[in-house]
A = this chain, B = another copy of it.
């Protein structure tokens, strides 16, 4: 495997095509190290994977969690309001709600004041389920702390607070 790296062969023969074995941690990222977007992307992938795994038993993904949380904290919102608040396409929210409604976590109630819109509510089952989701989400947040440190997580939330 990495044994060939031990020999004193030329560092890199890039003249034609061939090249020696290169360890993954030996590859230079060059300009990428100075780009916030790259670090943020990698971090977001990690954090979402941990969230999905931690909430794997209850089969809830980050976007679903955000929808349930906002509806739980603001009963009666319209789909448009939820979509706008969370930065989700209202077309996409339709499918998300279809799924959550099938699972009896959310119900769409026809609004009396505006017959175009639906008032979104958690079901009783949805309330208790969300409580469990939140406990698992807190556990996920602990994983984040373990990964980047408590102080760094706090600082991160503070820096990015304006994007909520």
Contacts and interface: CB of A to CB of B under 8 A. Distances in A.
Interface of A: 1-3, 6, 9, 12-14, 16-20, 22, 24, 27-48, 51, 62, 66, 69-70, 72-78, 81-82, 84-85, 87, 109-113, 119, 121, 127-128, 130-131, 134, 137, 140-141, 144, 148, 152-153, 155-157, 159-164
Given A37-B144, A43-B160, 9 more contacts: A14-B119, A17-B110, A17-B119, A20-B113, A38-B66, A39-B160, A41-B48, A42-B163, A42-B164
Contacts of A66: 32, 38
List the 4 shortest-distance A-B pairs measured between CB atoms, nearest first. Answer: A14-B76, A19-B76, A30-B73, A17-B109
Main secondary structure of the interface of A (DSSP, over half): helix
Contacts of A73: 6, 27-31
A83 to B, nearest CB: 10
Given A45-B87, A110-B17, A134-B3, A164 B38 contact: yes
B141 A34 contact: yes
Contact of A35 (B17, B81, B137, B155): B137
A34 B157 contact: yes
Nearest to A14: B76
Contacts of A47: 36-37, 40
Contacts of A70: 27-30, 32
